Amino acid sequence: MRVARLVLSFVLILGSCPRLNSQQSVVPPQRDPQAVLLLALCSSAMGTVGPTDTFLATGQIFYAGGQRPAGAIVLKSSGVDRARRETNNAEGQQVSVVNGTKGHASQTGHSTKFPHWQMKYARPEHIPAALCKLDLARPRMSVIYLGLELLGSGSVHHIQFFIPAPELVNKVERFEPLISDFHVYLDAQTFSVVKTKSFAFSPNAIENHSDWETYYSDYRAVSGVLMPFRICNFTAGQKLWDIVFTSVQANVPVTASDFE
């Protein structure tokens, strides 16, 4: 169960752009002008992450309810599709790696591969600035503005992304709207990302899923990019953990072995 949660959390934190399916029955995506404008404002406010940009974040992870001992966390990433996450506590070390469309999590010598459907539309949620532009680069992705909503004591713009189901749906493609579904909530005043929501899927069955929510706070500028120094995750409405970074550095050296 603990390894499964690590796999789940990291897959939702990082991923890569999908390959296009057959174009014969593709439904044209919807691109809501208001949503596109708000995302442009988001990108302008938060900064741009390039394919060669690297980040190194270090801090602590605090598990909800004291279910597990708090531990140290190190997150290294390159671009938006490669990352390595290490957590260390009294129970040992857990390592998760994503490299393009491949990835795995390991703990005490046991390794678990990430299922393809979890990887296909995963986003680099540890770098919310990238979420302002990433899905707009996916040719089949629809972008819809769902309105102004209250979140806590503030107002947010709610934007949804999803891949429309093809007109001729096969056994695999019928899940595209579900596995691609992603929601971004932008602060109405600053246009920064304050929350995201997607589905957390079972590694064994796409039909088994629940809401996965990520909250961001304590933003600080790191080499021109706003980075959150606090990230909180919930699944099915239950809090899992708080991640509090004490240091986030940009343009750190990385090697291919970091993501193997």
Residue 21 pLDDT greater than 70, yes or no:
no
In Å, the largest CA–CA distance within the chain is 53
CA 61-183-117 angle, 5° bins:
75
Q: Which amino acid appears at position 7 of this protein?
A: V
Provide the pLDDT for residue 6: 44
Placement of tokens 């929601």 in the chain:
183
Do 47 and 227 meet the contact criterion of CB atoms below 8 Å apart?
no
Q: pLDDT tens across 65-113, in order?
A: 877 889 999 999 999 988 999 999 888 899 998 888 788 888 877 888 8
Split at pLDDT 50, 70, 90, the class of 38 is very high
Q: Quote the pLDDT of residue 25.
A: 65
Long-range contacts of 254-260 (CB under 8 A, 24+ apart): 254/54, 254/76, 254/78, 254/82, 258/76, 258/78, 258/82, 258/84, 259/78, 259/82, 259/83, 259/84, 259/97, 259/98, 259/99, 260/97, 260/99
Which residues lie below 8 Å from residue 245, measured CB to CB, with a gap of 6+? 57, 58, 59, 73, 227, 228, 229, 230
Q: Which of 9-18, 103-112, 118-127, 147-156 has the highest mean pLDDT?
A: 147-156
pLDDT at residue 15 greater than cutoff 50:
no
Identify the weakest region by mean pLDDT among 6-15, 161-170, 222-231: 6-15
* Domains observed in the chain: 2-251 (2.50.20.10)
Q: Which residues of 153-181 are buried (b: 16+ CB within 10 A; e: fewer)?
A: eeebbbbbbbbbebeeeeeebebbebbbb
User: With pLDDT > 90 as the criterion, what percentage of the chain qualifies?
Assistant: 57
What is the arithmetic mean of pLDDT over 218-231? 97
Q: Is 90 exceeded by the pLDDT of residue 56?
A: yes
Residue 211's pLDDT is 87
* Residue 23's pLDDT band (cuts 50, 70, 90): very low
pLDDT of residue 204: 62
What tokens does 61 get? 């992870």
* pLDDT band at 195; cut points 50, 70, 90: very high
Cβ atoms of residues 138 and 19 within 8 Å:
no
Nearest to 225 by CA among 13, 44, 51, 48: 48
